[in-house]
Amino acid sequence: MKKIHKIIPLALLYLGLSSCLKDESYTADTSVAKNMVELAGAPDVAATAAYIYGVTGQSFPVNPTGSFNIEVKYAGTEVVAPQDITVTLVVDPTMITKYNNKIIADKRAELIAEGHDPADAEEEVAGELFDLITPNLYTLSSTTATIKKGENTAKVTVTVKPNQFDFAFRYGLPIRISTASLGTISSNFGSVIYSVGAKNEYDGEYEATGVFTHPVLGPRDIHEDKEVSTTGQYSVVTVAGDIGAPVGLVVNPTTNDVTFTGALSPTQPFIPIPGERSYYDPATKTFHLNYRYTGGGGFRVIRETLVRK
């Protein structure tokens, strides 16, 4: 597997990614098309020309085990199955390869069109690429699901081991319906990549308040909701102040002190304010952050508090 060099949290990838499906709408699959067998539930990222497979996210606390269900559905004009339907599922690694290759190829074409070096394509889209989850990290309760006569769904349970996940990887579990004893396998919802990741105790939604102080223009208030997303067992990424740039926060699990990673630019790293402690309060689930970065005229100073919602 290839380690991710540029981390893009799954939640950020999903934002704004909605468009028409390849050849049949979700509504058509569930209520118009006759005799369809599919992986139920609209994916978080739909299959499109750019994203050739639908993607559904599953995130778990760092515990020994976690689980989720893969639901297969008999959909169409018949409300329920007229007989028992046996559906076979396979883990298809070629889906990961095809998905990644399409993302890289599209970025390469974009860079060429813009007159940039296409050799940078894979690095630029690293956060969108999947690593095939290894068999030691998950189990399927079965590779077959039987939709009983008079019903329209059946489930297979996936059990994962989040405390063994490597946070440097973006795991993908590629599931494809290979056979169905009755009905046509859906072209849009017959194959889905389940994005499987662990989230640490700091991951979640926060309300941020504070002050951004510019050396020339003076102070302005910060008050906005922020996503804090896992990048490691004790590290997260969020938005710096109100400037829109990502800042990494690393929590010392013993002292709860917070250090900063990332930069506005290569010459503008986020650094602590001398003499001012930044820390996480586990009792109130609050980040107290004091940091700055340099620029013309002096330091831009950010003092903010992030309270878990």
DSSP the chain: -PPPSS---HHHHHTT-----SSS-HHIIIIISSSEEEE-S--SB---SSS-SEEEEEEEESSS-EEEEEEEEEESSSSS-SS-EEEEEEE-HHHHHHHHHHHHHHHHHHHHHTT--GGGHHHHTGGG--EEPPGGGEEES-SEEEE-TT--EEEEEEEE-GGG--TT--EEEEEEEEEESSSEEPTTTSEEEEEEEEE-TT-EEEEEEEEEEETTTEEEEEEEEEEEEEEETTEEEEE-TTT--EEEEEE-TTT-BEEEE-BSSTT-B-EEPTT---EEETTTTEEEEEEEEEETTEEEEEEEEEEE-
Contacts of 178 (CB under 8 A, 6+ apart): 88, 89, 90
Question: Is residue 304 within 8 Å of 279, Cβ to Cβ?
Answer: no
Q: Indicate the fold that domain 10-199 takes in CATH.
A: Immunoglobulin-like (2.60.40)
pLDDT at residue number 3: 41
Cα distance between residue 283 and residue 271, in whole Å: 26
Contacts of 234 (CB under 8 A, 6+ apart): 200, 202, 250, 251, 252, 253
- Assigned token pair, 234: 């004790």
pLDDT at residue number 42: 66
How far is CA 215 from its chain centroid? Answer: 37
**Domain at 204-308: CATH architecture:** Beta Barrel (2.40)
Model confidence, pTM: 0.73
- Assigned token pair, 235: 């590290």
**Dihedral of alpha carbons 289, 293, 298, 300, sign:** negative
- Assigned token pair, 117: 């070096």
Residues of the chain short of pLDDT 50, as ranges, are 1-33
- Tell me the domain boundaries of the chain: 10-199, 204-308
